[in-house]
Amino acid sequence: MRLFLWNAVLTLLVTCLSGALIPEPEVKIEVLQKPFICHRKTKGGDLMLVHYEGYLEKDGSLFHSTHKHNNGQPVWFTLGILEALKGWDQGLKGMCVGEKRKLTIPPALGYGKEGKGKIPPESTLIFNIDLLEIRNGPRSHESFQEMDLNDDWKLSKNEVKVYLKKEFEKHGAVVNESHHDVLVEDIFDKEDEDKDGFISAREFTYKHDEL
């Protein structure tokens, strides 16, 4: 009988500790519009180009809109690295280009007890978010494959250089040859941990503190 009781107490303790009695805060996701064709869904590490409007739930007031503020420009956001709010990381997974979502974000996954700027403490936030474009994040598997020209699962200095040039050209920047070499050396200094002259897939995807 005593043993039985102990088991019951232990079970209760474990349940409490694992948080089963206190529900984890969750984002409420409503899909407002979904495109007919979806080639790709967002996942952690992806870059997302979004337009959004943010409202306070309690009075419906608008606190930010990329249409009205930000010169009407959409913003880039990296999914899953806590770049914005926890609620965005949770609520924007598996999204297609052209999809519109409404997120209701509890304070714990928003600006919490402190609030921020126009957002009072303990605010539930509502966001309407339109996804316009998805790109490979800098640390994604796709980016690595794109850079690894000879498919040997490691990046040589030349491969990194070719990639950088392409990226600069894409963004219309002209960078001279010697500056590329400096950049490449700098990247290898940080990323090539075992100093074998190559950035391995592991070295590439490893999350550094500064990220």
Least Cβ distance, residue 146 to Ca ion (angstroms): 11
Q: Which stretch binds Ca ion (CB under 5 A): 31-39, 79-87, 132-140, 190-198?
A: 190-198
Residue 192 in the binding site for Ca ion (CB under 5 A): yes
Least Cβ distance, residue 74 to Ca ion (angstroms): 34
Q: Which stretch binds Ca ion (CB under 5 A): 12-20, 34-42, 114-122, 140-148?
A: 140-148
Cβ closer to Ca ion: 46 or 192? 192
Number of chain positions touching Ca ion (CB under 5 A): 7
Least Cβ distance, residue 180 to Ca ion (angstroms): 18
Torsion 204-209-210-211 (CA) sign: positive
Q: Could you please report the per-residue DSSP string of 40-64?
A: ----TT-EEEEEEEEEETTT--EEE
Cβ closer to Ca ion: 76 or 206? 206
Least Cβ distance, residue 7 to Ca ion (angstroms): 51
Residue 99 in the binding site for Ca ion (CB under 5 A): no
Least Cβ distance, residue 161 to Ca ion (angstroms): 12
Q: Which of residues 144-173 bind Ca ion (CB under 5 A)?
A: 148, 150, 152
Crossing angle between the packed helical segments 177-191 and 157-170, to the nearest 10 degrees: 120
Q: Both ends of the chain: CA-CA distance in Å?
A: 54
- For Ca ion, the binding residue among 196, 205, 206, 208 (CB under 5 A) is 196
Do the Cβ atoms of 93 and 31 come closer than 8 Å?
A: no
Length of the chain: 211
181: left (phi over 0), alpha (psi -120 to 50) or beta: alpha
Cβ closer to Ca ion: 89 or 203? 203
Least Cβ distance, residue 199 to Ca ion (angstroms): 6
Q: Helices (DSSP H) in the chain: which residue ranges?
A: 2-17, 86-91, 141-147, 157-170, 177-191, 201-205
Instruction: Name the CA dihedral angle for 19, 122, 48, 143, rounded to a multiple of 10 degrees.
Output: -50
Cβ closer to Ca ion: 130 or 148? 148
- By CB under 5 A, name the binding residues for Ca ion: 148, 150, 152, 192, 194, 196, 198
